Structure 1
Amino acid sequence: MANSGAATVKPPRVKLKLTATERKASIMLALLFASRMLGLFLLTPVFAVAALSIPGGNDAAKVGLALGAYGLTQAFLQIPLGMASDRFGRRPVIVAGMALFVAGGVMCALASDINWIIAGRVLQGLGAISAAITAWVADATRPEVRTRAMAMVGGSIGVSFAVSLVLSPVLVGEFGLSGLFWAISLLGFVCLLIAAFLVPAAPQSMQPIVQAKASDVLRHTDLLRLNFGVFCLHFVLMAMFVVVPGILARLGGYDSSRLWEVYLPVILLSFVLMVPAVFYTETRRAHKVALEIAVAGLVVVLAFLPWASQQFVSMVALLIGFFIAFNVLEALQPSLVSRVAPPEFKGLALGFYNTAQSLGVFAGASLGGVLAAAGNTSYVFLVCAVLTFVWFLTARGFRNGA
């Protein structure tokens, strides 16, 4: 009798934790990824004004090209370097990419005119290691805790954006545009050392190396949905922040040197609030539901932003909602890519994913500027809302959500 009663007792639920090695690898790789995003974001708040101090800096087309060249060349190299990381290993590809990043930053710091800055930004973008970093996170973590590790990497994007808004005016004010590029280069060199010496080695797949084909990824409908999703997410981010700084300055009376006072608490609060969502998603294996809810939340936020753009408090509240959804999706989507992509072309799949992200950055910034130039900032929010609604419809068809 006692035995039958004992047999009904369920074992206690074990709380999933990152191991010490997983935690160290996740933190170090998040720092690497943050440096890449700083290379993209750090110029955005100040470059259009700071470029006026150099020859050719009054040419708006060249200024835009200098800003967008990084994301555009990133897009061209993500897939080849993702494949290279599958074949030759994550560490050598990342170290080589960081070396290109540093070299491009030094070229920009020494540039005598806008054309040399464009060349330096192109060189920086050629070190397209985002796919290799994300694949290394997947290699270094168990599936049960992978979303949490991806949250560190994904969350670093929001943190990098906030840091760029704080640091850019300070660095340019103290050291000029050249000093800003030297700071970017120094950060890249530190991260090169981290990649070379501090990130723990992750076990490679024991399966034989297979030469993956682009068609393997392009025939995978769930991967296509995730690629479209990350394109939309970064399109919306860049398009929004073509117009959001001006709105906050108008409503709250902030000049460019004080906008960080709004951005920093918004980013930090949204990051804290997204953590419970990530833990719930992991423990309940509710990835598909979390994906749909987060995208639907973006649709609602973007639909209300034209109204909120007339009220400072409402604008800040919706920005918090935006970044909660943004941070959840930054953690969730790459984790889903690593779950559904077969091991033999995981790096290639993440290469396509990061290519779509880079194209979203370039397209969002470009089209956002065109729409804002039409004279009505509501156009930007409404276009983003429509695009995100299309994303929501495609996300509902996602099959491998567990």
Structure 2
Amino acid sequence: MNDYKMVPEERRATWGLGLVFSLRMLGMFMVLPVLTTYGMALSGATKPLIGIAIGIYGLTQAIFQIPFGLISDRVGRKPLIVGGLLVFAIGSIVAATSDSIWGIILGRALQGSGAIAAAVMALLSDLTREQNRTKAMAFIGVSFGITFAVAMVLGPIITHAFGLSALFWGIAALAIVGIIITLTVIPNPSSHMLNRESGIVKGSFGKVLNNSRLLKLNFGILCLHTLLMATFLALPVAMENAGFPPAEHWKVYLVTMLVSFIAVVPFIIIAEKKRKMKQVFVICVALLFISETILWSSGQRLWIIFAGVQLFFIAFNIMEAILPSLISKESPAGYKGTAMGVYSTSQFIGVALGGSLGGWLFGINGVNTVFIGGIILCALWFAVSITMKQPAYVSSLRIELPESALEDNLLESYLKMSAGVNEVVIVPTERSAYIKIDSGKTSRAKLEQLISSYQSQPA
């Protein structure tokens, strides 16, 4: 039997949790391209309040996601996921039954409060073996990108055909489907496993927050999602002002997303295989700066707006792909899960800032003020990004150790001297070694064999 081939239970867990995560994200993102145009018909709606409605879910998500991840260690992953999806569904129903902007804001806040991302990743760790976990998590990451693209297209189509209320009813239905999948498709874990690669470790935030390299990356994802939310406040209005009706916006999103997904591939190859991660990162920040400048200077020239949108999404999708990889490379051994938790929180703070600041700028002097704000933010981000150092091209592993290995104080030093090993942390209470390796020089299989042969050597 191939030990690196997923067994049926692992495949069910990966597909099921990927689908649950995607359904929730689909519900979050479908609102993004339509709320500015269709939301202004709501009672009490103003441009700043539309911005708050767009970004408020990010604030509640940022507040609850780390605590809920820690709570899932106690109450269980599935109960927390089901509870989070139920809160998400209730928030969607509140928004669907409201005809005022304040009802939408409350509904979106409740949607964000059902923060299940950390619990989903923890359950994935419980249901997959170490050698297959990276593949499973990569599947979740890919599903996120596809879901975002689908949401950009479906949101305008559904809202134009059936209205904003129907969109939120549909989102509530997606949450209910997610609950059914969680209860019927996803296997029940036999045990809860603390895995520092995917889970948050109490008392470890200081080590992550004091790491200047990680701080720059967290600032990066905050800027990226601030730009996304603010730009989507202004973009639908800019296209409408240029004579492109909201009912047709999905066509622009479909084409630009397809092109950007194709464009991502060579940049990822250059960043990862050619080891030019910093260069690609800085180029993408520059592309975002250029895209915001194009959108600001476009006036009512539709094709120039389309060019700015295309450039924005190319840079955005590349960044969405390489930023998690950079976090994985820069996080200390045994702290990847905590680093990703802080990273995700920074992302959702960016969502909240982008919505609220974008709405405020929008209210001052329309779409151009929002794009000017984006230009300034990109310039600040560029100044920070050029101070970044080239990362070590390493990946993280967790290897379970036999009982006899835990008593050997020399094993850690032995592993550190092995070719391709960058960092080693052995945690006896978890019976695990957390290792950062250059995958071009070594692999999990080689290290497992090394540990086995080391243990068999005579004392």
Sort the Cα spacing of 1:45 and 1:318 in 2 relative to 1 into closer, same or farther, 3 A: closer
Equivalent residue runs for 1:2-401 within 5 Å: 28-47=16-35, 57-60=43-46, 64-84=51-71, 91-111=78-98, 115-133=102-120, 150-172=141-163, 177=165, 179-198=166-185, 204=193, 210-251=201-242, 253-342=243-332, 344-375=334-365, 377-396=367-386, 397-401=388-392
Q: Secondary structure at the match of 2:235?
A: helix
User: Does the 8 A contact of 1:131 with 1:350 survive in 2?
Assistant: no
Q: Distance in 2 between matches of 1:62 and 1:318?
A: 26
User: Does the 8 A contact of 1:107 with 1:120 survive in 2?
Assistant: yes
Q: Secondary structure at the match of 2:81?
A: helix
User: Does the 8 A contact of 1:134 with 1:350 survive in 2?
Assistant: no
Q: Distance in 1 between matches of 2:334 and 2:262?
A: 35
Q: Distance in 1 between matches of 2:139 and 2:201?
A: 29
**Code of the aligned partner of 2:84:** G
Q: Distance in 2 between matches of 1:34 and 1:157?
A: 9
**Code of the aligned partner of 1:377:** V
Q: Distance in 2 between matches of 1:189 and 1:282?
A: 39
Once the two structures are superposed, what CA deviation does each residue of 1:336-375 show, in whole Å capped at 9, x if it has no partner? 3244335654443323222222221221122222223333
**Code of the aligned partner of 1:317:** A
Q: Secondary structure at the match of 1:240?
A: helix
Once the two structures are superposed, what CA deviation does each residue of 1:280-301 show, in whole Å capped at 9, x if it has no partner? 4443444333323322222232
Sort the Cα spacing of 1:326 and 1:24 in 2 relative to 1 into closer, same or farther, 3 A: farther
**Code of the aligned partner of 1:288:** K
Q: Distance in 1 between matches of 2:69 and 2:200?
A: 14
Which runs of 5 or more residues in structure 2 are unaligned?
394-459
Distance apart, 1:20 and its partner CA: 8.4
Could you say what the CA RMSD is over the residues aligned between the two structures, in angstroms?
Answer: 3.7
User: Does the 8 A contact of 1:132 with 1:347 survive in 2?
Assistant: no
Sort the Cα spacing of 1:303 and 1:340 in 2 relative to 1 into closer, same or farther, 3 A: same
Distance apart, 1:181 and its partner CA: 2.1
Q: Distance in 2 between matches of 1:163 and 1:18?
A: 35
User: Does the 8 A contact of 1:103 with 1:123 survive in 2?
Assistant: yes
Distance apart, 1:323 and its partner CA: 0.6
The more displaced of 343-352 and 207-216 is 207-216
Sort the Cα spacing of 1:398 and 1:44 in 2 relative to 1 into closer, same or farther, 3 A: same
Q: Which structure features the higher share of strand residues?
A: 2
Across the two proteins, how many residue pairs are aligned to each other?
A: 379
Which runs of 5 or more residues in structure 1 are unaligned?
1-16
User: Does the 8 A contact of 1:83 with 1:347 survive in 2?
Assistant: no
Sort the Cα spacing of 1:49 and 1:272 in 2 relative to 1 into closer, same or farther, 3 A: closer
**Code of the aligned partner of 1:36:** R
User: Does the 8 A contact of 1:155 with 1:327 survive in 2?
Assistant: no
Distance apart, 1:115 and its partner CA: 4.8
Q: Distance in 1 between matches of 2:40 and 2:293?
A: 36
Q: Distance in 1 between matches of 2:195 and 2:364?
A: 55
Sort the Cα spacing of 1:377 and 1:362 in 2 relative to 1 into closer, same or farther, 3 A: same
Q: Distance in 1 between matches of 2:291 and 2:5?
A: 33
Distance apart, 1:46 and its partner CA: 4.2
Once the two structures are superposed, what CA deviation does each residue of 1:258-277 show, in whole Å capped at 9, x if it has no partner? 22222221122212221333
In structure 2, the partner of 1:6 is none
